[in-house]
Amino acid sequence: MDPKAGGVSQAVRTMIKGLTELATSNAVVCLNEPTSDFLAKSEFPVFALGRGSTAWNINSQLSRWLKVNIHQYDAVILHGLWQYQSYALLKKTRLVVNTRVFVMPHGMLDPYFQRAPDRKLKALRNLFFWHFVERKMLKEADGVLFTCETEKLLAQETFQGYKPQQEIVVGLGVEPPPPYTESLVAGFLSTFPKLADTGGYLLYISRVHPKKGLDILINAYLKLKRSEFALPKLVIAGPGLETDYGRQMKQLAADEPTICFTGMLTGDLKWGAFYGCSAFILPSHQENFGIAVVEALACAKPVLISNQVNIWREIAQERAGLVADDTLAGVATLLNRWVQLNPDQQIEMSKMALEAYRKHFTIDVAADRLKNTVYEAYAN
């Protein structure tokens, strides 16, 4: 449930918020330390059993917890794959009669993870666990839940023996942002004053990680700047600057004063960054859903994304942003197309961004789908 681990923890929180408003009780069992700061203000019960050991996250406390408690619940949703949680739950599904079990892979069945050149060892590891754990888990579960149609279709390509009982697109909602106020933007700009003298900036909010395509974004930006393109400043926000890749990215951009690294942003600073930007950009090589993409839409900000962000079809359909390949040329095209739009066209795209959020990505729409899916399975 650590927010620094990626978007799944936020997705779980958002789903629970939506289900709670539909009179559905929820609890989370996770392998975090019970004293973790990010669990201190949870609005739902959290059973934190402590961190597991090894890369597989082994924690026998989870098996014991499930044995004692799983019967108290109408349904269990396993979020994510490739960890001990799958194995612990698989052992219990054969013993449970009245509890329905669902798996929500959150993009972890995407073929990207088996094909990426830098993931060969992890791909072999996943193949091993697929044959001995995950394939059986998906087959025995009452259904596999997906955030969008593209995720469902991609999951069918990756492994042999993929035969779930049901595949259900339940979507994923994102909580609306706080209302826009000038003070939100002013607070962000006062924290990073070198952005205050600009007519706008492009915003990247995501982990600083090779999968996110940040290197091609910086290289495309520098290439256009050298060609004297009139680009807005570029703000790069997210955890991971202390990693080897993060240090490489800072070094890559070291000579360009219009690129600003902020580190991870939360609360008012995050929303101030969203409301203050001209557009949001994420050229990811693989993005199952992209919570930050939808948060940008909810702030009425156009999104410039790669066609490897799985909700790109909805973005293109609603004319809520621009889409291109996850290559240096593709990202350069995104930047070029954005600056070529006149102010009226940019304003119109902002309006369409907010409409796309309201049509596809609100909490109530996704929560209603999820509740109906679970309750129908339980009734049967």
Give CA–CA dist 204/214, Å, rounded: 9
The enclosing H or E element of 47 equals strand 46-48
Structure tokens that stand for 132 in this block: 């001995």
Q: Which pLDDT tens digit goes with each residue over 88-126?
A: 999 887 667 789 999 999 999 999 999 988 899 999 999
**Residue whose structure tokens are 């259900």:** 168
pLDDT at 10: 87
Decide whether 3-173+363-379 matches 182-360 in CATH topology: yes
Give CA–CA dist 305/19, Å, rounded: 30
Q: How many CA atoms lie within 13 A of 18 on its CB side?
A: 25
The residue-averaged pLDDT of 2-28 equals: 90
Is the sign of the CA dihedral 193, 198, 204, 209 positive or negative?
A: negative
pLDDT at 118: 86
The enclosing H or E element of 316 equals helix 312-317
Is the sign of the CA dihedral 59, 63, 69, 75 positive or negative?
A: positive
pLDDT band, residue 28 (cuts 50/70/90): very high
**Residue whose structure tokens are 């609890």:** 27
Q: Is the pLDDT of residue 298 over 90?
A: yes
pLDDT band, residue 202 (cuts 50/70/90): very high
Cβ neighbors of 83 (< 8 A, separation 6 or more) are 52, 56, 57
Please tell me whether residue 59 adopts helix, strand or coil conformation: coil
Name the superfamily (CATH) of residues 182-360: Glycogen Phosphorylase B; (3.40.50.2000)
Could you tell me how many residues make up the chain? 380
Q: Is the pLDDT of residue 4 over 90?
A: no
pLDDT at 379: 76
Give CA–CA dist 140/133, Å, rounded: 11
Give CA–CA dist 252/255, Å, rounded: 8
Does residue 185 contact residue 276 with C-beta atoms inside 8 Å? Answer: yes
Give CA–CA dist 360/363, Å, rounded: 9
The amino acid sitting at 31 is L
Does residue 46 contact residue 1 with C-beta atoms inside 8 Å? Answer: yes
pLDDT at 277: 96
Give CA–CA dist 44/16, Å, rounded: 8
**Residue whose structure tokens are 């072999």:** 124
Mean pLDDT (the chain, rounded)? 93
pLDDT at 380: 74
Structure tokens that stand for 101 in this block: 């079990």
Ranking 141-145, 147-151, 210-214, 300-304 by mean pLDDT, the lowest is 147-151
Does residue 30 contact residue 46 with C-beta atoms inside 8 Å? Answer: yes
The residue-averaged pLDDT of 255-277 equals: 95
Q: Pick from 222, 225, 236, 232: which is nearest to 192 by CA?
A: 236
Q: Is the pLDDT of residue 191 over 90?
A: yes
Q: Where are the domains of the chain?
A: 3-173+363-379, 182-360
Q: Per residue in 97-135, is it b (16+ CB within 10 Å) or e — as a string? A: eebbbbbbbbbbbbebbbebeeeeeeeeebeebbeebbb
Q: Which pLDDT tens digit goes with each residue over 118-159?
A: 899 999 999 999 999 999 999 999 999 999 889 999 999 999
CA dihedral 104, 108, 112, 116 (to 10 degrees): 180
Give CA–CA dist 369/249, Å, rounded: 40
Q: Per residue in 175-191, is it b (16+ CB within 10 Å) or e — as a string? A: bebeeeeeebbebbbee
Q: Is the pLDDT of residue 248 over 80?
A: yes
Name the E strands within 55-200: 75-79, 100-104, 143-146, 167-169
Q: What share of the chain has pLDDT > 70, as a percent? A: 99
The residue-averaged pLDDT of 176-184 equals: 95
| Cβ neighbours of 165 (radius 10 Å) | 12
CATH number assigned to the domain covering 3-173+363-379:
3.40.50.2000
Q: What share of the chain has pLDDT > 90, as a percent? A: 84
CA distances from 228 to 142, 221, 225, 272, 338 (A): 56, 11, 5, 29, 15
The residue-averaged pLDDT of 320-336 equals: 97
Give CA–CA dist 313/307, Å, rounded: 8
Q: Which pLDDT tens digit goes with each residue over 55-91?
A: 899 999 999 999 999 999 999 999 999 999 999 999 8
pLDDT at 201: 95
pLDDT at 196: 81
DSSP for 215-248, written as a single string: HHHHHHHHHHHHTT--PPEEEEE-S-TTSHHHHH
Ranking 168-177, 190-199, 330-339 by mean pLDDT, the lowest is 190-199
